[in-house]
Amino acid sequence: MGGTFDPIHHGHLVAASEVQARLGLDEVVFVPTGQPWQKSGRDVTPAEDRYLMTVIATASNPRFTVSRVDIDRPGPTYTLDTLTDLRRQRPDAELFFITGADALAQILSWRGVDQMWPLAHFIGVTRPGHVLSDDGLPREHVQLMEVPAMAISSTNCRQRVVDGEPVWYLVPDGVVQYIGKYQLYKPDAGEANRKA
């Protein structure tokens, strides 16, 4: 499951858990993006912070792991590269790429989309506020799945921190504490804290 994970929240975790259980997957690999090409309009939190929050959020689940392939590869992240690298690391594995309804709707605009289909099965999951559809996508490579509805987005979590509202129970407890410890999402506070 690829994502910016800025921060990782319970919508990501429930979706991953549901797909893991329903398909009987051995492992769900969370892959935080490097520099996301679609999100260049805003400052994305440093990759190491997003990576660590993802590790904290997934540590207690024996089937969840986190991969550094995208954050260690220089330049913008493209899912084709993600899948190619994961393939190389796990030559015998059958790969499933888990994506929410909003991201699935964008998939045809992704670089090298035609080369991506043979690398993995694509699992599109429901997400509140978005229509889940496989219109225009190759049926043999894409499966749609309903997961418990969690109306949570990282954008909303970040805004809540800016507004001084709680993010408890939207993100795992350890992630709430990490955000507080490093003063993430508070304008100007992050740099000051890091320099201290």
Strand partners, 168: 171
Backbone angles phi, psi at 65, to 5 degrees: -135, 170
**127/184 with CB nearer ligand ATP:** 127
Q: How far is the CB of 4 from ligand ATP (least distance, A)?
A: 4
Contacts of residue 100, defined as CB under 8 A and 6 or more positions apart, other chains included, come to 11, 15, 124, 125, 126, 127, 130
**89/155 with CB nearer ligand ATP:** 155
**162/192 with CB nearer ligand ATP:** 162
- CA-wise closest residue to 149 among 129, 127, 169, 174: 127
Closest CB to ligand ATP: residue number: 100
Q: How far is the CB of 11 from ligand ATP (least distance, A)?
A: 2
* Secondary structure of residue 38 in the 3-state scheme: helix
**14/93 with CB nearer ligand ATP:** 14
Please report, as ranges, the residues that interact with ligand ATP according to CB under 6 A: 3-6, 11-12, 15, 99-100, 102-103, 125, 127, 150, 152-155
